Structure 1
Amino acid sequence: MAKVIMVQGTMSNAGKSLLVAGLCRVFAQDGYRVAPFKSQNMALNSFITKEGLEMGRAQVMQAEAAGIEPSVDMNPILLKPTNDHGSQVIVAGKVLGNMEARDYFSYKKNLVPDIVAAFGRLEEKADIIVIEGAGSPAEINLKENDIVNMGLAHLVDAPVLLVGDIDRGGVFAQLLGTMMLLTEKEKKRVKGLVINKFRGDVTILEPGITMLEEKAEVPVVGVVPYMSVTLDDEDSLAESLLPKDMDLINIGVVRLPRLSNFTDFSALDQIAGVSVHYVRDPYEIEKMDMVILPGTKNTMGDLAWMRESGMESAVKKFAQYGPVFGICGGYQMLGQRIADPEGIENVIKADGSEGLRGLELLPMETVLKPEKVRTQTSGSMEITEGALAGFSSHRIHGYEIHMGETMAVDAIKPLCHLDQKNDVVCQERDGGQRDNVYGTYVHGIFDDKDVAYDLCRLLAEKKGLTLQAEADTDYQSFKESQYDLLAEGIRKSMDMDAVYAMLQDAAI
């Protein structure tokens, strides 16, 4: 039977995902078989496993930290918001359907068997399971039939670490206020408090920590510093999405309202002299060296936003002299038209017709379909047209996750030649290229060794600039180094003896 420990937070983005990843790495370094678990995740950044199943990116990142293959058992329920009051519900890696928030709130107790089954399968493989909560256990309006915070902790008999974010201020009120709103039974589950994202001299906190421990009657087992580690994030509050200064090479990613899978561009952002900017102002487009239309959970809705905001005109103008790259939903937007005959995205024009005109930059049309394509894929990328001509013979590995089929309406060269899908040999063409415009369904296309650097080097050469020579490492190796840095920070700032004691005495 695996030992378990759960990380809950006082709010979203308190650092739960990072702390879980760090603990997974520490336990793995100490020789344990460890796995992450989050019963229910809400995110637009997702991943496809080698079985062709869909899960949240945070648990993929945590699995990497643990040194194991990602599995949907680590994230049995994934909610992907489709609008402000509804989500696509994915259970065990497959789409269950779309639900309004209120309907899902009533339905979710039916998913407890799926959660228990997934957790049970992990227990058979792991010595330690590190569980991540969601939001806060003190969201009293959501506590009925809770399946992700204290409800889950009771279900699997997990001791709880409660994490507060001092960087936002008011961390003592966060932690004490959360404890006050818990029931007595729930309070007994909290075995340690963690102050996260601290900057400065920790001795200044000591009087506050003493008072916090007295009032909460729970020990503070860690003051974790604000660590400069770069890991994949799935949250809309991710720091990578914030504005940044211009650099030698500037890549603009259109920040669509339903932006998804922005981790596609993490490898580009790690190159010295290169900055990835998430752009919502059309006037910023002309400052970029390359523009990317990313994935989206609502392709037609975000296409309409581009048209209304002026972003469509800015991108089309840019395409006359600079490279425009579309991925997944962004690739679909580049075509002549997106049709939705079955009302998948429920975008109906004033004249009653279903579908929208695309940006008309590639001679392709897309028909949305209810079946979701979910595949890991590999092949090669060959660019022979326009501003990126000569960027060829690069191996790529990634995954497809989309609803719809895109077909050429005129002669067009493919962008990628795929030779494997879900470990099955194939010979398929993907995407398209014409003039300065390129599109593909493959997520993670820039992650393979040298792909991101060679692309940015080409952009620099066109400006008469030279990028700093890239170190002999690839993006995956970089991520491994970041997990080690994270584990080192956790060991230095947390009482790991106390954490191990919680694991040994998990029964409440």
Structure 2
Amino acid sequence: MVAAKTIMVQGTASHAGKSVLTAALCRIFYQDGYRVAPFKSQNMALNSFVTADGGEMGRAQVVQAEAAGVPPSVDMNPILLKPTGNASSQVVVLGRPLDNYNAWDYHQELAGKLWSVVTVALERLQNDFDIVVIEGAGSPAEVNLQATDIVNMKVARQAGAPVLLVADIDRGGALAAVVGTLELLPPGDRERVKGIIINKFRGDVNLFQPAIKFLEQKTGVPVCGVVPYFDDLYIQDEDSVVMERKNYLAVNDGDKVDIAVLRLPRISNFTDFDPLESEPGVYLRYVGCDDTLGQPDLVIIPGSKNTIEDLLYLKQTGLAGEVVRLARRGVPVVGICGGFQMLGRELKDPFKTESSIEHIPGLGLLDMQTTFAREKVTSQVQATVAGDGDYLGGFGGHLTGYEIHMGRTELGAQARPAFIIETRSGQQVDVPDGAQNAEGSVWGTYIHGIFDNDLFRRHLVNILKKKKGLDTEGQAAIISTEQKKQAGYDRLAELVRNSLDMGLIYRLMEI
């Protein structure tokens, strides 16, 4: 069997655009008729996804797999680090949680032991696909991490992959970052860098030609292209820093439904709300402790990697009190996963699964309590609406999504299930999910991706519009989230293909 050709995308720093450019290359190779898979040996992210067989992996590699036209697999991201604090993470290996580790113990003791997991996963992809597009993490020039590296140059050496080095010119200092990165690499690794990409460029590229000439003469490495800055493509982000940009770009002209998502310090899976952002007549904003919650038409409490700590943050900042007051006045409040757990009477963590705090009162908006277990539930699901009331009532369709949680929630007499899960990981079940209050104005669920369901999303938005007195007649057709994704990948591929010397890249891969 002939092993797949490989190419690796590394960066001069974090947030240089590696993930998006990897997705673009996946789409380009897919369009050109190749069977292509993404690969990132170790990803640190709070945005994750559950595969069909119940494995958890980083959302960025899911986006890249979608761009490549293939189902996501945990082999594409064999190690996922989900931060639980400033210097600790839950380590997920081949889709299953291993344990929580602090940064020192992970890098000094565990990372090397996981190298065999990385190589086996990579080998499986190389055997099953024509091309594997590999993404690095951070910068390969972080000399303090080179000895324990399992995500940058060590992977390039293992795969025999030529490396494209990406620099973010929008931050400034891109030329120095490229030259400095190459200078700090050992000679053998430096020779692996076969191309340079300048990313997020604004302005006239013709004025940048002297800089390109300088880089090529200084480093001896060709510049493969200059990719323009863009913010108008529907490509899901994995880093929560993007929420600040979304707030900046959003505009409320007073004739839109105002949806406020609480910006938790450890927010996870914030991409759950991207489809709402795309709905006509919706103003979606993220609200932190320095922002004004005001009088939104809907409050959403998102998922969290550390639910108890984030609930404590809401209480300390006063946001918890504001949400409760709004709910008492009839403003609908929705909780997703960790946000759903916060809506109850209390949360317990007897095994200190997520936090050192063993017990905390919840917001008290739903009659239920949650206890954190040692085992994580990860599954794709299909469900129907069980709740009634103004917001869930009247929707009779089926829903799809996925669960990622360690909490087990018990409902009291004053709460009713919001949904019924009918299939879990392909198996027929009859399991209640979530909860709602008697009026139906407060409800929550463990189902991530629930707003990806186009009919359900429009159903909820239309109810909010009617309550606000906005017209729902003659509005735009329902937007297909899946079609919008695919169109975004195609536009991304077109932009990057026109910006890079793809002939050179193919030659670097010996294709």
Range class of TM-score, shorter chain: over 0.9
Say which of 240, 247, 252 aligns to 1:243.
Answer: 247
Deviation string for 1:58-90 (max 9, x for gaps)? 000000000000000000000000000110011
Q: Where does structure 1 differ by over 4 angstroms across 4 or more consecutive aligned residues?
A: 239-242
1:210 paired with 2:213, answer yes
| Residues 389-426 of structure 1: per-residue CA shift (max 9 Å, x gap) | 54522321110010120001214221112111101111
- TM-superposed deviation, 1:283: 6.3
Task: Indicate whether 1:499 and 2:499 are aligned.
Answer: no
- What one-letter code is carried by the residue in structure 1 that aligns with 2:489? Y
Q: CA deviation at 1:137?
A: 0.8
Q: 1:275 pairs with 276, 283, 289, which one?
A: 283
8 A Cα contact 1:249 1:275, kept in partner: yes
Q: CA RMSD in A?
A: 1.5
* Structure 1 CA distance for aligned equivalents of residues 420 and 320 of structure 2: 29
Report what 1:255 is aligned to.
Answer: 263
Equivalent positions of 1:159-198 (< 5 A) are: 159-198=162-201
What residue is the counterpart of 1:38 in the other structure?
40
The offset of 1:381, in angstroms, is: 2.5
Which residue number in structure 1 is paired with residue 317 of structure 2?
309
Q: Is the 8 A contact 2:402 2:449 kept in 1?
A: yes
2:340 equivalent to 1:336:
no
Greater Cα shift, 64-73 or 118-127: 118-127
Aligned match for 1:134, one of 108, 133, 137: 137
SS for the counterpart of 1:161 is strand
- Tell whether the 8 Å contact from 2:324 to 2:363 is kept in structure 1 after alignment: yes
- Map of 1:346-365 to 2, 5 A cutoff? 346-348=355-357, 354-365=358-369
CA distance in structure 2 between the partners assigned to 1:494 and 1:283 by the alignment: 40
Q: Which amino acid is the alignment partner of residue 13 of structure 1? A: H
- Structure 2 Cα separation of the partners of residues 165 and 343 of structure 1: 40
Query: 1:460 maps to what in 2?
Result: 465
Asked whether the 8 Å contact 1:167–1:197 carries over to 2, the reply is yes
CA distance in 2, matches of 1:215, 1:32: 35
Among 372, 377, 381, the residue aligned to 1:373: 377
**CA contact 2:385–2:392 (8 Å) conserved in 1:** no
Q: Deviations along 1:308-357, whole A, 9 cap, x unmatched?
A: 11011010011122110001011011001111122223333xxxxx3110
Q: What's the counterpart of residue 445 of structure 1?
A: 450
CA contact (8 A) 1:419 1:427 kept: yes
Instruction: State how far apart, in whole Å, the 1-side matches of 2:228 and 2:489 are.
Output: 15
The residue aligned with 1:64 is 66
Q: 1:273 to 1:240 in 2, by over 3 A?
A: farther
For the residues of structure 2 that align with 1:203 and 1:283, how far apart are their CA atoms? 41
Q: Within 2, Cα distance between the matches of 1:71 and 1:389? A: 33
| Structure 1 residues 214-253: Cα deviation after superposition (integer angstroms, max 9, x where no partner) | 1011010110111321211111222566423335122111
Distance 2:95 2:490 in 1: 29
Percent of aligned pairs sharing the same letter: 49
8 A contact 2:392–2:460 mirrored in 1: no
Counterpart CA distance in 1 for 2:138 and 2:462 is: 41
Aligned equivalents of 1:383, 1:464: Cα separation in 2: 24
Whole-angstrom distance in 1 between the partners of 2:291 and 2:490: 40
* C-alpha separation in 2, matches of 1:369 and 1:355: 13
- Change in Cα spacing, 1:153 to 1:335, as seen in structure 2 (3 Å) is same
The runs of 5 or more residues in structure 1 that have no matched partner are 349-353
Q: Are the counterparts in 2 of residues 366 and 404 from structure 1 also a CA contact under 8 Å?
A: yes
1:56-95 matches, within 5 Å, as: 56-95=58-97
Distance (Å, rounded) in 1 between the aligned partners of 2:79 and 2:204: 40
Q: Partner letter of residue 260 of structure 1?
A: S
Cα deviation, residue 27, structure 1: 0.3
Supply the AA of the counterpart residue of 1:342.
F
Indicate if the aligned counterparts of 2:458 and 2:478 stay in contact, CA closer than 8 A: no
1:293 to 2:296 alignment: no
Cα 1:396/1:402, change in 2 over 3 Å: same
| Aligned residues between the structures | 499
Query: Is the 8 Å Cα contact of residues 81 and 297 (structure 1) preserved in structure 2?
Result: yes
